[in-house]
Chain A
Amino acid sequence: MPERKVVSPEYMFFEAPREKKYLIGNEAVAEAVKRANVDMVIVYPITPQSEATHIVGDIYAQGYVKDYYRGEDEFNVMSAIAGAAMGGVRVFTATSGPGTLRAFEMFPAWAGERLPIVCAFMTRGVNAPLSIQPDTIEIGWLADTGMLIFHAEDPQDFFDMTLQAYVIAEQPDVHLPVGVCVDGFFVTHTREIVELTPEDEMLPPYDPRISPVVTMDMETVPVRHMKDPFVMKSNYISYNAHASWQQEVRAAAERARKYITRYMGSPVEVLYPEAEVLFMASGTAAAQARVAMERMRAEGIDVGLVKIKVIRPFPEKEIAKLAEGPEIIIIPEHNITGWLAREIKSRVNNNSKIYGGPRVFGGMTMPPEVIVEETKRVLVDG
């Protein structure tokens, strides 16, 4: 491990020199962990995530991370990660599809406990029937946990968003977990050019004193939490305590918007916003939609693209405004539930112009021609 120096997030994200490397997504996220000044990593194997945390294990062995172990299952890994975060250290973990579901009870708990955990979700199909193939169905479920959810398109996004996630998660007025989602295999196992910041530069360490909730270290006053615990009471005060806490978690996610703008530029990326047909997509569906857009524009069809980078807090104002112009909105997705179409339809005034599809799932790819054909069919049939 080289001698490392702490740099500011602003310098790392916007000014630091970048070196081009040819990396798969799983290598790119490990490179981000290396630069994120992470204290502790706890993991459990699952395809297609495992390789990323093998590499993180290697960087732990080199000294970049202070503690690392393989836990007994995803629920207990996410529990242990919560314990570590409560103890005031910066943590990283990752999982995929069935592992996400196995661990699910912990995600609302992370948000409710206001833990700034960064977890990578290398999305994959869920059983049954058995599948290890790419599918983004789990993102729709994660969207209602109270976590912030980002969706990376490619290894570069995966690298950048993981680093940005720590800085946004740890703001005192946010202090929430972030799920950095990426399409399994399509990104985790695909090699692309990634521009990396220098290996010897890392983010400032996490300072648990900025946490809006008490760090479990007995370094702050030991006053009793409460004299009359809410949990067993059936009265308005106890309900209201729980209700207002949940609202505060959502409010904290709202407050993340300004940091998303500051560190990620914008929650959406837009090409040809004035086009008659707009594709709205996230993850690799956005990558495929970009190719489809270029082909259709070459044919003279006026198509644009909205790539949605942030799923929570959902960029509802941006989407509602962008939805005003086009005659048709096409939402390609890598899952059967169409959670992104559902999300967008619920935020847009005139949603009869929204076409939720094409959708592929079960591991299938989405060739750009599928999007092109489907769009042409919608243009003809309405």
Chain B
Amino acid sequence: MEALKISPGFEKIMPQEYLDLVEDGPYGRGLTVKDLGTFKELIEEHPLCAGCGLGLSIRLILASLPNPENTVIVGTTGCNSILMPQVAIHNVHALFGNQNAVASGLKRALRIRYPNTHKDVVVIAGDGAVVDIGLAPTMHSWFRREQFTTIMLDNEGYSNTGGQESGMTRQGVVVNMAPVGKKFPKIPLHEVAKVAGCAYVATATPARARRLGQMARRAILVAREIGPTYVQIFCPCSTNYKFPPAETLTRAKETEITEYMIPEAKELIERIEKGPKSRGGEE
């Protein structure tokens, strides 16, 4: 937490936004989605489209980090990558698809350097990055039981590159590069995650904000103690699916909310959530 303070003499010249983050940011306060509106958020403005499901989902994830003061995000190319540089915690732009490989090295390095502090590594990446170009490193990080959380922002296509089909696009949908409709079903990565070694797997929607926040938080806490975790968030894309931005949340409800955890994860979550309010982090 020492790193978050302003060096003496710099108080007057730092931008107001920075002062706000230091004085009223979420660092070290154990805030959650229900506290939104009462503190200076890690993300304030962003360049994503009106009605973007990603922008809202990322806002909810950031508000749910158990210890933002000790969290590093690994992102990758995609719509989210034009938002990430504006997030007020350290974040890495990996190349396209290698986010879980970068996160594997980063998490292990932080464990070497800070053996007594939980430094959470959270991958936030789009569906194409996770399930298509990055499937090998994603699954291999799970097979290796790497202790970080992977969050897929599923907008059912490559939105940033102009609305092409991805593995998460639904069968039959006509989009770019699927000119006569996608030929195969949405890849059930949340099912794959279970057999690949994830200790906690959830499918969420920003339409259920507190539930999404709870799932992101649980995933991060389980990753600290037990093993890899995966959260898949349905984030409809009004730009490429061509529906009015106001319909995003209505459409976001059209997904199944599921939660899976291995017995050790269940035990851990129960212990943390029933116990005295704890921020975790420093041991």
| A81 at the B interface (CB under 8 A) | yes
Say yes or no: is B18 at the interface (Cβ < 8 Å to chain A).
yes
A71 to B94, CA, bound (A): 17
Q: Does B127 lie at the interface of the complex (its beta carbon under 8 Å from any beta carbon of A)? A: no
Contacts of A106 in B (CB 8 A): 95, 98
List, in ascending order, chain A residues with CB within 8 A of B88's CB: 222-224
Report the minimal beta-carbon distance from B204 to chain A, rounded to whole angstroms. 25
Q: In the complex, which of the residues A79, A89, A225, A228 contacts B112, with contact meaning CB atoms closer than 8 Å?
A: A89
Measured between alpha carbons, how far is A350 from B88 in the docked complex, in Å? 56
A interface size (C-beta, 8 A): 45
Please, which residues of chain A bring their CB within 8 A of the CB of B111? 67
Stretch of A14-22, A158-166, A213-221, A278-286 lying at the B interface = A213-221
| In the assembled complex, B90 has its CB within 8 A of some CB on chain A | yes
Answer yes or no: B261 CB below 8 A from chain A CBs.
Answer: no
CB-contacts of B83-104 with A (<8 A) = 83, 85-92, 94-95, 98, 101-104
Q: How far is the CB of A5 from chain B (nearest CB, A)?
A: 20
Contact across chains for B72 and A71 when beta carbons are under 8 A apart:
no
Contacts of A208 in B (CB 8 A): 113
List A185-228 residues whose CB lies under 8 Å from chain B.
Answer: 208, 214, 216-228
- Per-position 1/0 for B108-146, Cβ under 8 A of A: 111111100001000000000000000011001000100
Chain B residues positioned under 8 Å from A325 (CB to CB) = none
Q: How far is the CB of A194 from chain B (nearest CB, A)?
A: 30
- B25-55 vs A, Cβ < 8 Å mask (1 yes, 0 no): 1010000000000000000010100000000
Given A83, A85, A109, A216, which contacts B104 in the complex, CB threshold below 8 Å? Answer: A83
Q: How far is the CA of A229 from the CA of B45 in the complex (A)?
A: 12
| Nearest opposing residue in chain B for A105, CB measure | B95
B13 at the interface (CB under 8 A from A): no
Pick from A77, A224, A226, A232: contact of B101, CB under 8 Å: A77
- Pick the contact of B70: A67, A73, A218 (CB < 8 A): A218
Among A219, A223, A227, A232, the residue within 8 A (CB) of B82 is: A232
Does B192 make an interface contact (CB < 8 A)?
no
Q: Are A76 and B3 in contact (CB under 8 A)?
A: no
Contact in complex: B90, A217 (CB < 8 Å): yes
> B85, A226: Cβ atoms under 8 Å?
yes
Of B4, B105, B137, the residue contacting A87 (CB under 8 A) is B105
Q: Is B64 an interface residue (CB 8 A)?
A: no
Q: Is A42 an interface residue (CB 8 A)?
A: yes
- Chain B residues bordering chain A, tally (CB within 8 A): 47
Interface string of A48-74 (1 = CB under 8 A from B): 000000000000000000110101110
Report the separation of the CA atoms of residues A72 and B199 in the bound assembly, to the nearest whole angstrom.
21
Tell me if B81 is interfacial: C-beta within 8 Å of chain A.
yes
B106 engages A83 (CB within 8 Å): yes
Give chain B nearest CB distance to A289 CB in angstroms.
39
Residues of B within 8 A of A77 (CB): 101
A83 touches B47 (CB 8 A): no
Proximity bits, B1-18, A CB within 8 Å = 1, else 0 = 001100000000000011
CA distance A214 to B93 in the complex (A): 13
User: Closest Cβ of chain B: how far from A44's Cβ, in Å?
Assistant: 11
Establish whether residues A66 and B95, one from each chain, have CB atoms under 8 Å apart when the complex forms.
no
Nearest residue (CB) in A for B83 is A229
Once the chains are docked, how many angstroms separate the CA of A146 from the CA of B47?
31
Report chain A residues within 8 Å CB of B105: 40, 42, 79-87, 91
In whole Å, how far is B102's beta carbon from the nearest beta carbon of chain A?
A: 4
For the complex, is A314 an interface residue (Cβ under 8 Å from B)?
Answer: no
Min C-beta distance of A39 to chain B, whole Å = 6
Nearest CB on A from B28, distance (A)? 11
- The answer to whether B3 and A79 touch across the interface, beta carbons within 8 angstroms, is no
Query: Given the interface contacts A79-B102, A84-B109, A223-B88, does A218 sit within 8 Å of B137 by beta carbon?
Result: no
Residues from chain B with Cβ under 8 Å of A86 in the complex: 92, 102, 105-106, 109
With A71-B101, A83-B109 in contact, do A229 and B4 touch (Cβ < 8 Å)? no
Q: Is B74 an interface residue (CB 8 A)?
A: yes
Complex Cα distance, B111 from A227, in Å, reads 31
Scoring A residues 222 to 242 as 1 if CB is less than 8 Å from chain B, else 0, what string do you get? 111111110110000000000
| Nearest B residue to A81, CB-CB | B105
CB-CB under 8 A from A84, the residues of chain B are: 105-106, 108-109
CA distance A251 to B28 in the complex (A): 40
Contacts of A214 in B (CB 8 A): 90
Q: A72-B140, A73-B136, A79-B95 are in contact. Are A88 and B109 (CB under 8 A)?
A: yes
Asked if B69 lies at the interface with its beta carbon under 8 angstroms from chain A, I say yes
Tell yes or no: A75 within 8 A of B by CB: yes
Distance (whole angstroms) from the CB of B149 to the closest CB of chain A: 15
What is the interface of chain B, defined by CB distance below 8 A to chain A? 3-4, 17-18, 21, 25, 27, 45, 47, 69-72, 74, 81-83, 85-92, 94-95, 98, 101-114, 119, 136-137, 140, 144
Which 8 A-B pairs give the minimum distances between C-beta atoms? A87-B109, A83-B105, A84-B105, A80-B105, A83-B102, A79-B98, A83-B106, A79-B101
A-B contact pairs, 20 of them (CB 8 A): A67-B108, A72-B101, A75-B98, A76-B136, A79-B98, A79-B105, A79-B137, A82-B105, A83-B109, A86-B102, A86-B109, A87-B105, A89-B109, A216-B91, A218-B69, A222-B21, A222-B88, A223-B18, A229-B47, A232-B82
B-contacting residues of A (Cβ < 8 Å)? 39-40, 42, 66-67, 69, 71-73, 75-77, 79-89, 91, 105-106, 109, 208, 214, 216-229, 231-232
